[in-house]
Amino acid sequence: MSNLTSPTPKVGFVSLGCPKALVDSEQILTQLRAEGYDTAKSYDGADLVIVNTCGFIDAAVQESLDAIGEALNENGKVIVTGCLGAKKDGDGDDIIQKVHPKVLAVTGPHALGEVMDAVHLHLPKPHEPFIDLVPAQGVKLTPRHYAYLKISEGCNHRCSFCIIPSMRGDLVSRPIADVMLEAENLFKAGVKELLVISQDTSAYGVDVKFRTGFWNGAPLKTHMTQLVGALGELAKQYGAWVRLHYVYPYPHVDQIIPMMNGGHVVPYLDVPLQHAHPDVLKRMKRPANGEKNIERIRGWRELCPDITIRSTFIAGFPGETEEEFQYLLDFLEEAQIDRLGCFAYSPVEGATANELANQLPEEVREERRGRVMQLQERISAERLQRKVGKTLRVLVDAVDRTGGATGRSAADAPEIDGVVHIKAPYEPHLKLKVGEFYDVTVTAADAHDLWAKA
Ligand code: SF4
């Protein structure tokens, strides 16, 4: 099992240059934070340093070269980005590589994807399924038309299998104006889908008593419903999507569902339920109770019949009886969750669940996980089959050599859900482009993916 006491990788950051460079720095820092990297305040506390440079005038070039030199001396592992990264000298040579050949990677400005690729290469972050908010595969940032927006840190719950609160502390919500500004900057930079993440999106603002902030001169409360409303408006302005992750099924989530009918807050909720049996949920110390969850899901589907519900579950939690496990299977049959991930329970160092009686053998945990996934395969296949013949809006993620493409509908979050395979259009002038939306007609489905024509 994973070693959860391994320290979080730390990145040092030196930001030079104009306000545009500053926005680049903010976006890189946001992405690092969203992926679980920490930032270090000193060179020696960092595992790697990123220097965002300026190349505008000679003095700025010198300042940037000095900053790179200092980072190399003090730390040694340096990635350079920014305007100087794109600059050549009189001989046509890359200035930075010539002066500082030891830098690990050099990119030009507005190169979030390339910078993150270099970070992943030189300072990979181990994936912790119970902790990480972003998928194990990492976030592929090229092409760059979707981005994660982290709205808070930490968590006020104390689920017995989780050590996040002991690592990251209680919930700290980011000021709503900062979140909105970051969202606007991302949309301006071409992001077409914003994925809202946190440990508990529904709890946004609890720690600051839903303090009123300001956005565009108008008051806006630090509250999930107001945030989602404002993000939906902003997304509409930029012709983009907002997708909500880690939403706990509290009553106020019901107010979010009608906002999904406009199409900019996509009808998709990622609700980590973890189990259905009330006694298991009690042992897990989960904030929500199983019976209410089924009513809530039913209510959401009444308000928004097209809603896609994603959830994660743990099979083989300590003390889980065959009867409790069967209860989970019955719940899944009834709830008809569209997208589902299931982990076999695995003890996390430092978690209180380790002290619970009746820890189950690995074979039992794995076998139960297998049964959940087998059931889900059938449910998912049936639900996707109903989409055949329908027209869906998709966002294209990649185009292949034949002119066909892979995209995602509102029902598919990147990296964790299925995709829509789109056949190359017959008309040669109709070229599918990455980062663009298209309406497609679904022609076939399996248990995970759809096939469609544009
Ligand atoms: S809600 Fe529970 S599982 Fe999620 S971060 Fe908080 S303590 Fe961990």
Asked if the model's pLDDT at residue 367 lies above 70, the reply is: yes
C-alpha distances in angstroms, 448 versus 388, 420, 445? 13, 9, 8
Residue 159 CA, ligand 1 centroid: distance in Å: 5
Angstrom CA distances, 450 to 69, 269, 415, stand at: 51, 20, 15
Q: What is the pLDDT of residue 133?
A: 60
Q: What is the pLDDT of residues 35-72, one digit of tens each?
A: 778 888 888 889 999 999 987 777 788 899 999 999 99
Ligand 1, atom 4: closest residue by C-alpha? 199
> Could you tell me how far CA 352 lies from the centroid of its own chain?
27
- Which residue has better confidence, 286 or 430? 286
The span from the CA of 317 to the CA of 68, in Å, is: 50
- Is residue 165 lining ligand 1, measured as CB closer than 6 Å? yes
Lowest mean pLDDT among 116-125, 261-270, 370-379: 116-125
Residue 5 has pLDDT above 50, yes or no: no
128 C-beta closer than 6 A to ligand 1:
no
| Residue 126: predicted pLDDT | 61
| C-alpha 167 to ligand 1 mean position (Å) | 11
Asked if residues 259 and 234 have their Cβ atoms less than 8 Å apart, the reply is no
CA–CA dist 379, 311 (Å, integer): 14
Question: Residues of the chain with pLDDT > 90: what percent?
Answer: 62
The dihedral built from the CA positions of residue 71, 75, 78 and 81, taken in this order, carries a sign that is negative
Stretch (H or E) spanning 146? strand 146-150
175 by Cβ neighbours in 10 Å (0-12 / 13-18 / 19+) ranks as middle
Spatial separation of the C-alpha atoms in residues 245 and 247, rounded to whole Å = 6
Task: Average the pLDDT over 216-241 and give the result.
Answer: 96
Give yes or no for residue 157 CB within 6 A of ligand 1.
yes
Give strand ranges (E) for 198-353: 212-215, 218-221, 241-244, 265-270, 308-315, 339-344
Q: What is the pTM of this model?
A: 0.73
200: Cβ below 6 Å to ligand 1? yes
pLDDT above 90: residue 441:
yes
Q: How much is the average pLDDT of 137-141?
A: 45
Q: Cis omega (within 30 of 0) on the bond before 9?
A: no
Among 128-132, 299-303, 353-357, 387-391, the range scoring the smallest mean pLDDT is 128-132
Q: 446 or 401: which carries more pLDDT confidence? A: 446
pLDDT of residue 2: 35
Interval 161-181: pLDDT, tens:
988 888 778 999 999 999 999
Whether ligand 1 lies within 6 angstroms of the CB of 179 is answered as no
Measured in angstroms, how far is the CA atom of residue 348 from the centroid of ligand 1? 13
Q: How many CA atoms lie within 13 A of 433 on its CB side?
A: 7
Distance in Å from the first CA to the final CA of the chain: 44
Tokens of 270: 């990622």
User: Residue 140: its pLDDT value, please?
Assistant: 43
pLDDT of residue 128: 60
More confident residue, 63 or 288: 63
Question: Does the CB atom of residue 164 touch ligand 1 within 6 A?
Answer: yes
Of 159, 206, 271, 343, the one to substitute when testing ligand 1's pocket (max ligand atoms within 8 A of C-beta) is: 159
Mean per-residue pLDDT, 179-189: 88
Ligand 1 atom with the smallest distance to the CA of 158 is 7
Does residue 159 surpass a pLDDT of 50?
Answer: yes
Task: Kindly state if the Cβ of 71 falls inside 6 Å of ligand 1.
Answer: no
Instruction: List the beta bridge partners of residue 319.
Output: none
Q: Is 270 in the pocket of ligand 1 (CB under 6 A)?
A: no
Give 129's pLDDT tier (boundaries 50, 70, 90): low
Q: Name the token pair of 134.
A: 């972003």
Spacing, Cα 268 to ligand 1 middle (Å) = 21
Asked if residue 6 has pLDDT above 60, the reply is no
Q: Which atom of ligand 1 is nearest to the CA of 246?
A: 4
Region class of 436: left (phi > 0), else alpha (psi between -120 and 50), else beta: beta
Is the pLDDT at 92 greater than 80, yes or no? no
What integer pLDDT is reported at residue 127 of this predicted model?
59
Q: Each residue of 356-366: pLDDT tens digit? A: 999 999 999 99
Average pLDDT, the chain: 89
Instruction: Give the model's pLDDT for residue 85.
Output: 87
CA of 332 to the centre of ligand 1 (A): 21
pLDDT attached to residue 360: 96
The two tokens of residue 224 are: 């999930």
Q: Phi-psi region for residue 32, left (φ > 0), alpha (ψ -120 to 50) or beta?
A: alpha
Bridge partners, residue 195, by sequence: 148, 243
Residue 410 has pLDDT above 70, yes or no: yes
Both tokens assigned to 140:
């592929």
How many angstroms does the Cα of residue 155 sit away from the middle of ligand 1?
6
pLDDT of residue 290: 65
Q: Which two tokens stand for residue 57?
A: 């005038």
Closest residue by Cα to atom 5, ligand 1, is 199
Q: Is the CB of 159 under 6 A from ligand 1?
A: yes
Question: 314-329 pLDDT, tens per residue?
Answer: 999 999 999 999 999 9
Alpha carbon distance 361, 368 (integer Å): 11
What is the atom index within ligand 1 of the atom nearest the CA of 286?
A: 2
Write down the pLDDT at residue 4: 37
Cβ–Cβ under 8 Å, residues 9 and 123: yes
Question: Closest ligand 1 atom to the C-alpha of 274?
Answer: 3
Instruction: Choose among 76, 46, 51, 87: nearest CA to 66.
Output: 51
Beta bridge partners of 341: 312
If one counts every other C-beta atom within 10 angstroms of the C-beta of residue 454, the result is: 20
